[in-house]
Structure 1
């Protein structure tokens, strides 16, 4: 059965590819490969072994798409199971000079009106 154009491998092949890729990463690390070189070697080994099992050519692109899709799905599951954290609140910034001046003027007017008593000016 040929692969669809978007590169999804056969259903029965998916668990096999995931398991083989983990083993290929361990093998690359045992050989002393690190970083991108180890990832490329593991990807090539996985595609080669999956080709033998599938009975058709499995490209490295198919393997990479499957791995990325699985990684995204794992992140989504982990995020869904995570306990929602308390909202992060920004620290309150010091008021600007404009706001300070405005607060002082409001406070002064309140103080004046309180000092004037009930006979103060009537505002409309």
Structure 2
């Protein structure tokens, strides 16, 4: 059973890999592993067990690609069912001294041009 050029495992392995990975994460947590260490251990266990089931070497890269593709598909599916959310905007940072100086210069320029009347700035 060869892999496709994109490196994804056979279709029959997909549900098996997803279920095994979930259990491998729980096992890693039960062993006291957390964070990236737990992720790596679960990934290695999943690849090993999937290789035995497939009868060929299933690499950790193949497993990771399958997991990421599934995660993206789930996010897209969830996003379609929800209402669009406005992006959260960060509060603006305080203006720098340089920007304040430019604003003052601009304000002074507008004040000068306003005092020149309808003819605009007086040219010499």
Report the TM-score when normalising by structure 2: 0.70
CA RMSD of aligned residues (A): 2.9
Superposed displacement of residue 21, structure 1:
0.6
Q: Is there any run of 5+ residues in structure 2 with no aligned partner, and where?
A: 119-124
Residue 73 and residue 96 in structure 1: after superposition, are their counterparts in 2 closer, same or farther (change >3 A)? same
Distance in 2, Cα, partners of 1:15 & 1:42: 16
Which of structures 1 and 2 has the bigger CA Rg? Answer: 1
Q: Any residues of structure 2 matched to 1:1-124 within 5 Å, and which?
A: 1-80=1-80, 81=82, 83-85=84-86, 88=89, 96-110=103-117
Unaligned runs of 5+ in 1: 114-124
Give the length in aligned residue pairs: 111
TM-score (norm 1): 0.70
